[in-house]
Amino acid sequence: MSEAPAPREQWEVQLRGSWEACGEALLHAIAAGHSTYRAHGFTYSIDLRAGVQRNLTTGRERRLRVRRPAPLSSPSLPPAATSAAIPPAATSAAIPLAATSAAIPPAATSAAIPPAATSAAIPPAATSAAIPPAATSAAIPPTTAASASVPSSSAPSITSVPSSSSSSASSTAATTASTNSSSTAATTGSTTIAAAATSATAHVSVSTASTCTTSPTPPTTSRLAASSATSSPTSAASLPPFNTTPSAAVTRHDARATPPAEEKGCRTEDSSPLAPTPSRAEECAAGRAEEGHASTPRKRAREDEGRGDAPSGGGSANERLADIFEEMSVIMNLKKERFRSSAYDKAAKALRAHAAPILSGAQAKSIAGIGGGMARRIDEALARGELAELEALRRDDDVLALRSLRQVYGVGPVRAGALVAAGVRSLGALREAVAEGRVALDGAQRVGLRLAEELACKVPRDEVAAHEAALRAAAEGGPPLRLVVCGSYRRGKAASGDIDALITHAHKDGPCGDLLGGFIRSLRAAGYVTDDLAFGSTKYMGVCRLPGEGMLHRRLDVRAVPRENFHYATLYFTGSNTLNVKMRLRAIELGWTLNEYRLQKANGECVPASSEHDIFEALGMPY
């Protein structure tokens, strides 16, 4: 059966806190059934049953597992697609939300573990070891098809999130989604894209899926594993998730106005039928005039890589190359290639910061972050002004679709991939699919979809200032608090993707209690906060809008931390992203850990800080 289209299983290797797809050499060895292979000068042995890859040269080991083939909603619409045929088994089973059904069974069963015997024991904990990895190959694939599951209803679809979107995601005021009676129920046969969905989906489709990860590792059940992602919705094109700057000099170029370069801030690019014509929002595209040099930023532009900045020339000598790599970074991010995305971003920033014009890849190789691959691309870019690879990616339908879908808050690489697989490739198509019940979104996603065009617009600096005033006004009457608007605004940018506010008790140390809750409630009462996306005790994510004609909805993030962590929190929340990563890496070098609460040494001791400056100093970094 399988054979040909045998859904090439997706094997992953365990990293530190997450699992990543494994390389070609390893995949090839697995496909060929080899138990040893060579790659980058090393010899490896692999034991699929045990779920282990061992570097025979160094003796180090990494765990292996196979992951569910289809991300989320495998199925969706066209059952046909992938799996179509295959999955006799699973099919019926799945049923709507109730995922469980499927659970473990499929795979396991079949599997029955092959011959090999190395004792199953291997996995330490593993009680459950149950699920034989090996099987995987066999087992899973089929399922893969995922289509299997379709719940009762015919349509595949990704089930939705748990019905109750209750808390979060609900629209604050009456507005929003909540209304949608439909949602929940309706979902039945639809593809769920919501969070849980994942798992849901998983089971739906691959049932086992959830469990899916067949590796021996899992102590017991277990379905997924957590990790983090990146991405920045708003800034669409402009900034990639994270940036790693090359130079160690974390200097703070003092803020300067960001010129035109960033244009792409807004616009959704996706003119779909059902789209709620965002008049204003559309304009915002034009409104990108922003960059306004006018409003001179006030603070430092930490690691912001002034791009397009000074005409003074200076670093813009390699701007073209930097732009190319930055674009590659953004695309890699869309494609779930987080490390490649980081690598391209690092290279782009390094080139942008390099004053001398690069005339060849070989010359550039001396720059940290530029290796053989980048050097080769630099040569091509210098010769033809373009990268064939990039030109192809720009036209790639999947990339275009991902770019549209990823604009929706709550739709990350996995769910976007599931949607694309389901044939949903634009905001319009997504709205349509949701309306028809083929795709179910959770509350936050519904808000994100409804306001996608508006939220894609950047916020001019002056407006952020107005938001700050609104936040302070709402704080009156409540417990005294210290509030600082951080993010790109505090870094002096002329326009921001959202409003990031940090609050702490003004006088009291210790837990924040309901500080955040009370604050948000008053913002909502004032009519300022319009929708909630996530609402916890220390972090709030939602949507707000200033009163007045023509104001757009904006993303609002509020973080509450104990007063004693204020400077660490300010450092974190002000960023930039690149600076945070750089400082945290520096801490790692020292064997320490830096987060938004503290800088902790190896011996557990915490470094006191009465200013952000203290933190730079403790790490031996230039402020």
Ligand X SMILES: O=c1ccn([C@H]2C[C@H](O)[C@@H](COP(=O)(O)OP(=O)(O)OP(=O)(O)O)O2)c(=O)[nH]1
282 binds Mg ion, rule: CB under 5 A: no
Enumerate residues 500-539 that contact ligand X by CB under 6 A: 500
**Residues binding ligand X: what is the number (CB under 6 A)?**
18
Among 74, 235, 341, 407, binds ligand X (CB under 6 A): 235
| CA–CA separation, 242 and 287 (whole Å) | 26
542 binds Mg ion, rule: CB under 5 A: no
Amino acid symbol at 423: G
Q: How far is CA 479 from the centre of its chain?
A: 35
304 binds Mg ion, rule: CB under 5 A: no
CA distances from 576 to 14, 300, 302, 410, 588 (A): 28, 11, 6, 22, 18
Stretch that binds ligand X, among 93-101, 206-214, 232-240, 347-355 (CB under 6 A): 232-240
Contact 130, 103 (CB under 8 A): no
458 binds DNA, rule: CB under 7 A: no
Burial class (CB in 10 A: 0-12, 13-18, 19+), 87: buried
Among 576, 582, 586, 618, binds ligand X (CB under 6 A): 576
Tally of CB atoms within 10 A around 397: 9
Least Å from the CB of residue 266 to ligand X: 12
Enumerate residues 255-284 that contact ligand X by CB under 6 A: none
User: Which of ligand X, DNA, Mg ion, none is residue 576 near (CB under 5 to 8 Å by kind)?
Assistant: ligand X
- Listed as own residue / partner, the contacts of 23-29 with beta carbons closer than 8 Å and 24 or more positions apart are 26/53
With CB atoms as reference, the residue minimizing the distance to Mg ion is 487
Stretch that binds DNA, among 60-68, 80-88, 254-262, 459-467 (CB under 7 A): 60-68
Stretch that binds Mg ion, among 67-75, 144-152, 378-386, 482-490 (CB under 5 A): 482-490
User: b vs e for 34-63, b when ≥16 Cβ sit within 10 Å of the residue's Cβ?
Assistant: eeebeeeeeebebbbbbbbbbeeeeeeebb
Least Å from the CB of residue 609 to Mg ion: 23
User: Which of ligand X, Mg ion, DNA, none is residue 210 near (CB under 5 to 8 Å by kind)?
Assistant: DNA
Least Å from the CB of residue 479 to DNA: 18
Token couple for 585: 């890496």
Q: Which is nearer to DNA, 148 or 309 (CB)?
A: 148
Among 79, 83, 86, 203, binds DNA (CB under 7 A): 203
**Residues binding DNA: what is the number (CB under 7 A)?**
114
Token couple for 27: 């995949």
572 binds ligand X, rule: CB under 6 A: yes
What Rg, from alpha-carbon coordinates, does the chain have? 25
Contact 464, 274 (CB under 8 A): no
Element (H, E) at 24: helix 24-32
Least Å from the CB of residue 596 to ligand X: 8
Among 497, 522, 586, 612, binds ligand X (CB under 6 A): 497
578 binds ligand X, rule: CB under 6 A: no
| CA–CA separation, 322 and 51 (whole Å) | 40
Enumerate residues 412-441 that contact DNA by CB under 7 A: 412-416
| CA–CA separation, 299 and 485 (whole Å) | 12
In three-state secondary structure terms, 22 is coil
Residues that bind ligand X (CB under 6 A): 230, 232, 234-235, 242, 487-488, 496-498, 500, 572-577, 580
